[in-house]
A and B are shown apart, each in its own frame.
Chain A
């Protein structure tokens, strides 16, 4: 720039000429410093006086509440704004896009900005005045969309020092901080890309990140740059330790390019990854396990988690049945071993079946979580029936007990069936270790996921098998005798308790009629047994008929009620402090910088209920929440709720309980442990 003086006098003239000649718009006379359209106001973020060097300036969009404008990849519909520079007295760089948010609009997801946003770019003056003329086009949408057009000009002196108007520089800086840093070499990117994989003919693409400092609890949001390849729908997230897997849905039929890019945001900062090579899924999948957490470690964790399940209250009734069978008379060591192994087989086969089911559903794209079998009213009703019949027999009410004992204690099928049963009832007691293991299972390749499931099964069966293998342990148990009858009767009580709990679950699932249906079924069963024991003619047939009718009616009613959505009424009766799950309400609370506490819970989850009664709804904690104006959300997953399943997936979980705390002004949550204590809640506010 040696000939600056000539340059500076000549250029503005030339520039005006150029603009006058080449623009279709009536040039500077109509172009202004602002542009407006329906629900949108646009103005410059620019200094009053430019300095000699490069300066980042922007188009500041103020958008009416509820309306949004778009990111570079607009998502499933919509369009990014366009800035067509028709004249500039200097260099103009590429447009810089602050990282977006996902905007679920009905059945679609858009990527963009609600409220205000500034699209930035750098300019370097090359004349005495910084002159810019730009044609704008934008699209603003709520559900309906309105395009806007405008022309804007800027004319500011260039001097030795930059002078910004009050506030605008801060505004510019705010959005500049949201522009992703392109990751090349060391840019402080807190994750590293483990793999980008996709099957050639598949409908998904998987990105696996690994946190550099193992402890980063927050799961970053990832936005695809290429809307032709990936849909904007939030990816399914699976997290295991420091490894986070994102499964994106591909645009149907879109050809797979060699590479693709993403923007990754932790809510305050963001990074841009460009041209990541896409590997074929088959070769890349095993590396998922190798480098991160070795599979054997995950399986060990699963075994430990499974073993802990034995200590949970839900398993107790089932184990007690088996234990009762084992300590019974005429048992040899060999038989016990077989018994133990059959039980283990029952557990393992069921876990394998559930694992296979998870894999099938995962392949089908359905997000699903542990404990889902208890989201079905008919299944709950079936369990009520089963435990009721067992409890009655334990109480010695009818002869059936001997048959059951035979079934559970002697026959080959018995131990196996007990094993199957154990898995089903254990579901609500997701132990502390199980969350991580199951989270990993959703991320791992099929064989790894199956290994996790079997690990859980081995853990669950192990203590029992050990008891069988080492008869010495059994010998320590008292010799059979009349005490057994007492024990048997005593063991009926946990079963009754389970029945009561399941009735309550049923009530939550299908509304008030749930307990009525359950209780009527129980009454009919007892009456049928009484009829059956009385020897008058035809009473047995009558009993069977009654049982059959009761089964058909109750299962039919439970099924129908659940699908007619009667549960809504039951769920609405929550205490008023806790709001039902509503994503947009939560987002609103977050945007007004209110603290948000989300309790992901379900009626069939005992840990959740204990936490709720002892901690969340204790007076101190409730007072604490009120003092700090926390927006309380109870995300009830008792019934099938895809919204909540999705939210859980985004947190890298697929089981409850999960406690998510968004401190005021934070958009990434802190997850609290699954076993809550009041001081943990207090600690949230102490640190403030």
Chain B
């Protein structure tokens, strides 16, 4: 009789744990949602330094997803639009991290040394050399779907904006001057303590190559 009890309890526990396994994918969907706490991350940058969300506690932080071969990234880097934004905000002591979530063997993947070269050639003006999220853990935690995909995190660690860089999903750089930049608009409002009008948008671009 006791045997049965033991196995009963055991299988029950196993059952619960298998249920937890079922539920996991659902939990994994938890992504960066405007108005909620930003997911934690800890990644090594191209110089080998580890950078995590906690390092930016009490500060503004922009996350940008990058893939050097993506035409939409080229649109914003070739035109100098992205670097100008980076410079504009890093000059105001706002942190900017550019993340590469391409897996090894996939488009856009860079070894640390290559990443430093690309940062140089692209005139990257972020707060750190590229973060190398080779296993995609950070990208998945944030639900980064495209390159570029932008997130703004406020000093309280909450997501203020998630989505596209602007409102024009053309690959043509010529449209940039007439596009509404969501990141700039969000900062304009948020830094004044106002409500961000567009806190979320459909991120356009190439898929992140996990």
Contacts and interface: CB of A to CB of B under 8 A. Distances in A.
Interface of A: 74, 76-80, 82, 105-108, 137, 139, 141, 143-147, 149, 203, 227-228, 251-255, 357, 360-361, 364-366, 368, 372-373, 375-376, 378-379, 381-383, 385-386, 389, 400, 403-404, 407, 525, 528, 547-548, 551, 555, 559, 640, 642
Contacts of B146: 76-77
A386 B7 contact: yes
Interface of B: 1, 3-4, 6-8, 10-12, 14-15, 17-19, 21-23, 25-27, 29, 31-36, 69-72, 107, 143, 145-146, 159, 162-163, 169-172, 199-210
B171 A378 contact: no
Contacts of B163: 251
B6 A551 contact: yes
A228 B4 contact: no
B4 A76 contact: no
Nearest to A357: B19
Given A74-B169, A642-B25, A378 B199 contact: no
A143 B103 CA distance: 14
A79 B3 CA distance: 62
Given A145-B70, A373-B15, A77 B22 contact: no
Nearest to A144: B107
A77 to B, nearest CB: 5
Given A79-B170, A376-B15, A144 B162 contact: no
28 contacts: A107-B145, A108-B207, A143-B209, A144-B206, A145-B70, A146-B71, A147-B171, A252-B34, A252-B200, A253-B162, A255-B199, A360-B23, A361-B23, A376-B14, A378-B11, A379-B11, A379-B15, A379-B18, A381-B11, A382-B7, A382-B14, A385-B11, A407-B1, A528-B3, A547-B6, A548-B6, A551-B6, A640-B21
A559 B22 CA distance: 14
Contact of B207 (A105, A381, A640, A642): A105
Nearest to A552: B10
A385 to B, nearest CB: 5
A106 B36 CA distance: 27
A372 B22 contact: yes
A79 B204 contact: yes
Given A361-B23, A551-B10, A525 B71 contact: no
Nearest to A389: B4
A528 B12 CA distance: 23
Contacts of A365: 26, 29
A77 B8 CA distance: 48
Contact of A228 (B10, B202, B205): B202
B11 A79 contact: no
B4 A227 contact: no
Contacts of B33: 203, 252-253
Contacts of A108: 145, 207
Contact of A77 (B6, B27, B143, B207): B207
Given A253-B35, A642-B25, 11 more contacts: A77-B146, A78-B204, A79-B169, A79-B170, A79-B204, A252-B34, A364-B27, A376-B21, A378-B10, A382-B8, A386-B4
Contacts of A525: 3
Given A108-B145, A382-B7, A253 B200 contact: yes
A78 B72 CA distance: 9
Contacts of A146: 71
B97 to A, nearest CB: 20
Q: Which 4 A-B pairs have the closest CB atoms?
A: A382-B11, A253-B34, A378-B14, A147-B171
Nearest to A105: B207
A373 B204 CA distance: 40
A640 B24 CA distance: 12
Contact of B172 (A149, A251, A385): A149
